Amino acid sequence: MHRRASTAPSRAAFLASAALVASLHAVPARAQADADQALALLRTASAQAAIITFCPKHYAIDGTTALRISQTTRDVAAKVLGRARADAAFKDELARRFDEVKAVGEQQWCAEQRDELADVGAGIFKD
């Protein structure tokens, strides 16, 4: 009896294909996670920009440290998102953050930031 060769994929080929498909689906998920983290960094950058802009009226701050944090987080976000996309996202986030400060009130917003950053030891607020 002559046995016909099977045209069905072998188990090994099937498993390799399944692993490839799974890894291809993981790439967009990873890219999305990276983009989400980059946007979170831009929120940090906007908070630092708002601290520099609004809080010196109410507290002594280390503007150099705040600026360094803002710039570093923007640079990392730009590596993930690309400079143009990161700059556009930061512009939108900065407008949102400044609206937040105005809605809460400068002094209250700065007091909240001072309390939160004291817990992590960021060293931005000097007093």
One pLDDT digit (tens) per residue for the chain, 127 residues: 444 443 333 444 444 434 444 444 444 567 678 888 999 999 999 999 999 999 999 999 999 999 999 999 999 999 999 999 999 999 999 999 999 999 999 999 999 999 988 888 778 999 7
- Give residue 28's pLDDT: 57
CA separation (Å) from 72 to 7, 29, 126?
Answer: 56, 25, 21
Per the listing, tokens 């209250």 go with: 108
Which amino acid is located at 72 in the chain? T
125 in Cβ contact with 59 (< 8 Å)? yes
Secondary structure (3-state) at 17 = helix
Handedness of CA 43, 48, 49, 55 (dihedral sign): positive
C-alpha distances in angstroms, 24 versus 10, 38, 75? 21, 22, 28
